[in-house]
Every structure is written in structure tokens, then in C-alpha cells.
Amino acid sequence: MKLEINAYYNKKMGTYKLFLIPNEKIQGDLGSIKFLRMLFANNKHAKLFGKNVGKNVGKNVGKNVGENIDNGIDDIVVDNVDFKHYIIKNTSELFKIICGDKQNVTFTYCYKSDGRLYLCKTEGEKDDNKCKHAWLCNKIYGIVSAGIMMFSKKGNKIYIDNMSGTYKTQESNLETIKTDLENSFSGIKIKLLKSPLDNERVKKIYCSVMQTDSVDYHSVCKQTSKRKTSSKRKTSSKRKTNSKRRRSNKRKTIKK
């Protein structure tokens, strides 16, 4: 069966809501570690994604689920000129819609157990307050994964991490969202960046592929940048010292 994925784009806020097809039924209870922030989440979520946009909509059947799940195709409510509805039929269309004329586009994301994927576009640390995971998820329970997601036209690949200050996303949760994206978009390429702060090898990969558009880029990669800068300074200083020594020795030789 050929799947069609519904997506809603808020042009004003730079957010997307996609209805993926879960491969199997999942609980999705990460647990929030910032409960006070959740008090403001409902209004923040509505501002980012609108009210009643693709809400309480049609049903579809997951590959191995055996029960109905939400996929956003009936009773579509788009009551604002800022919203655009897409029906995505393949992976190529996904990247064309998400990336537009850009090579890479970065988002904070929240993935829920009902297949709803929320994306909030970021262009650096300045968008951190706008795109908090609490605002995207707007729930304490039913959350499968939260972190940063970058869409890259280079190889049509999605990079996904599990870094969230609000939810305790485990490495195993990344496998779930990877499986559901693969179930929704045939042939899609996914690269998981599991816990880059705890794994030097993953951190190196993260800092080589992620862009400064990520709200976490500088906090993750600044140490690497400092080391490089420090190394360059040391090399430069050493060259200057050697150069001075050579000039001094040359003067001494001439005097003799």
C-alpha cells in the first residue's frame, strides 16, 4: 500500500506537523524533567502550530499495528492564511517541501506515540526560546522522542539526536522514530547521533555534519572549537618564537 503523509506548515512560525505511520503501537512515556515549564506549554504550542489544524482527523492502519491511528486526512481545518497543507507521497517530495532552496534545514523536534511529528525551524541559539521541546510536545506523557533533527539534501538524509533539556530521550527512543520514518517514507536515509555529549566519536561526527542553525551546536562543539583555536595559537606562537630565534642567531653571526 502506497502511503501518503499529511503535513501542515505554519509559514509565519516556521513549524511543521507531520502525521507519520507508526510501525507498531508504542507507549511513549519519556517523562518530563521540567514540570513548571509545562504550565505555559499549551499556549506556546497553539502559537507555533495553531488550534484545530489537522486535529481529530481520519484514521489509517499501521504496518504491524492492527488498529486505527491518526494520519490527518479528514476534517482538515486550516482556518488561517499562514497555514499550508501538503500531501507528501515520497521521500523526494519530503525534502523538497522541508528544505526548499536550502541545502540543510534544522529543527527541534517532538515525536508522539500517535505518529505526530512536530518540527520547529531554528537558525541558531536565538530560536531556542521559541522552539523549546515543552512547547512542541505540550504533554508530559505519550512522548516517544525529542531532540534536534536536520534535513540535508546531500544524499537526502536526516540526522537525528536525542538531546532535550525537557525530556529524557534514551538512545533506544531514536530507534523508534527511525523505524517510523522508514515506515512512512520508502528508502529514506536516517543517521542517528546518539548522545553526542557522552560519546566522543559521535560528538566528532555531530560537529562535522550539524550546522550552527542547531540551538545546541555551540554548547556541543565549542570545546572542540576552543581546542582547535588553542592549537592554532600554540602553533602560531611556536612559529613566531622560532622566527625570532633565527633572526637573533643571524644577527650574532653577522657581528662575529
Distance in angstroms (rounded) separating the CA atoms of residues 15 and 132: 12
Distance in angstroms (rounded) separating the CA atoms of residues 67 and 201: 40
- Residue 62 confidence (pLDDT): 44
pLDDT tens series, the chain, 256 aa: 568 999 999 999 999 999 999 998 887 777 777 778 888 899 999 999 987 665 444 444 344 443 444 544 444 455 457 889 999 999 999 999 999 999 999 999 999 999 999 999 999 999 999 999 999 999 888 999 999 999 999 999 999 999 998 998 889 999 999 999 999 999 999 999 999 999 999 999 999 999 899 999 999 998 644 444 444 455 555 566 666 666 666 565 555 4
The whole-angstrom distance between residue 55's C-alpha and the CA centroid of its chain comes to 23
pTM here is 0.79
**What CA–CA distances, in Å, run from 228 to 80, 152, 225, 234, 255?**
48, 26, 5, 10, 41
Residue 178 in contact with residue 160, Cβ under 8 Å? yes
Distance in angstroms (rounded) separating the CA atoms of residues 74 and 59: 8
With cell 550552527, the residue in question is: 212
Q: What is the DSSP string of 35-70?
A: TGGGGGHHHHHHHHH-SSSS-S--EEE-TTT-SEEE
Distance in angstroms (rounded) separating the CA atoms of residues 192 and 195: 9
**What CA–CA distances, in Å, run from 166 to 53, 79, 115, 189, 253?**
25, 31, 20, 27, 68
DSSP 20: -
Residue 213 in contact with residue 124, Cβ under 8 Å? yes
Q: What is the DSSP string of 83-99?
A: EEEEEE-SHHHHHHHHH
CA geometry: angle 88, 90, 96, nearest 5 deg: 70
- Residue 156 confidence (pLDDT): 93
Q: Which helix (H) or strand (E) holds 70?
A: strand 68-70
> Which amino acid, residue 78?
V
- Residue 58 confidence (pLDDT): 43
Radius of gyration over every alpha carbon of the chain, rounded to an integer in angstroms = 23
**Would you call 205 exposed, middle or buried from its count of C-beta atoms within 10 A (0-12, 13-18, 19+)?**
middle
With cell 566519536, the residue in question is: 201
Distance in angstroms (rounded) separating the CA atoms of residues 75 and 133: 27
